[in-house]
Amino acid sequence: MLEEFLGLIFSFWTGLAILSIVFVKASLRFVPQNTTFVVERFGKYNKTMDAGLNFLMPFIDKVAYRRTLKEQAVDVQRQAAITKDNISLLVDGVLYLKVLDPYKASYGVENYIYAVTQLAQTTMRSEIGKMQLDKTFEERDSLNINIVAAINDAAVPWGVQVLRYEIKDIEPPRSVLEAMERQMKAEREKRAVILESEGQRQSAINVAEGEKQSRVLGAEAIKAEQILKAEGEAQAILAVAEAKAKALDVIGKIAISETGQKAIQLELAGKAIQAREAIARESSVVLLPDGDTNASKVVAEAMAIINAMNNRPESSNAR
């Protein structure tokens, strides 16, 4: 009997230990980093367990949802969209989102990834419908920003934030691609013609500028030569004038003296004799000196003869 009693006690404690281990194991939860567990009690939301060691009541509480807080990349499938100018396009993209509120992401929507993806597709079709075909290629960044803003406004009840949206590819119809290729080819040819004409124009301008500068330099050289020549002539005239002035000054100073007076009288007498010889060659009248032959009289006669010769050409011209 004692042995049976001891065996019963041993079995009781052994079972209690096993139940305790199972209970502890069931109540402990290790939540990974950047992950949250949404716990329900009797089917109703109870709490959200963050990263680390957490406890829950076994058989009463259960982990209903596991939500990652990491940034997630979701592929948005290719879909058709029509632009403002009625061109059909095939557009696909990548959506980057992050869970901010695990409670809303669990109970606000059935599948937040599917919901955000569908919202991204409808928003993308709506935004492309507001733009011309050319703008969809040129303003891709603004298109991405508009799509992100529209999705975030609608995704607030879901506890999800869209960080960015990137359009991977925009594929227009084949006919539009061919037209765009022809347009680009024509545009390149146009730029080539413009560049060639600009080069010819610049070359002509350079040649004209060179000829202009050559003529200007030639004119400046001629001008400088004339200026130098005029300055040389002016200096020569000034030198001659200064020489004459000096000579007249010297003559004037000498003429004041007695010797100078005699020299002047002698010069005038010589000119009077030359004047008589000239009159004798041109006229039949012969002038003979009278008895008075002093120097003053000769000078006076010489002066009279010189004046007569100066007046004679005028009377001849008058005839």
Tens-level pLDDT at each residue, the chain (319 residues): 656 655 666 676 676 677 767 777 777 788 889 899 999 988 888 888 888 888 888 878 888 899 999 999 998 888 888 888 888 888 888 999 999 999 999 998 889 999 999 988 888 888 888 888 878 877 888 888 888 998 888 888 999 999 999 888 888 878 777 777 787 888 888 888 888 888 888 888 888 888 888 888 888 888 888 888 888 888 888 888 888 878 777 776 766 666 766 666 667 667 667 766 666 666 555 555 554 445 556 556 655 655 555 555 444 444 4
pLDDT of residue 269: 67
Contacts 24+ apart (CB under 8 A), 123-128: 123/147, 123/150, 123/151, 124/76, 124/79, 124/81, 124/91, 124/93, 124/165, 124/167, 125/79, 125/81, 125/82, 126/150, 128/81, 128/82, 128/83, 128/89, 128/91
Range of the domain at 263: 257-313
- What is the distance of C-alpha 167 from the center of its chain? 31
pLDDT of residue 103: 92
pLDDT of residue 297: 61
- Asked whether residue 3 is domain-assigned, the answer is no
- Asked whether residue 238 is domain-assigned, the answer is yes
Q: Are residues 168 and 190 in the same domain?
A: no
pLDDT of residue 191: 87
Domain count along the chain: 4
- Asked whether residue 11 is domain-assigned, the answer is no
pLDDT of residue 319: 42
Q: Are residues 126 and 156 in the same domain?
A: yes
Give the whole-angstrom CA distance, residue 192 versus residue 185: 10
Q: Are residues 137 and 117 in the same domain?
A: yes
Q: Are residues 54 and 40 in the same domain?
A: yes
Q: Are residues 138 and 91 in the same domain?
A: yes
| Identity at 115, one-letter amino acid code | A
pLDDT of residue 72: 92
CB contact burial 88-114 (16+ within 10 A = b; e otherwise): ebebbbebebebebbebbbebbeebee
- What is the distance of C-alpha 69 from the center of its chain? 46
Please list the residues that pair with 121 across neighbouring strands: none
Give the whole-angstrom CA distance, residue 184 versus residue 192: 12
- Asked whether residue 13 is domain-assigned, the answer is no
Give the whole-angstrom CA distance, residue 117 versus residue 93: 10
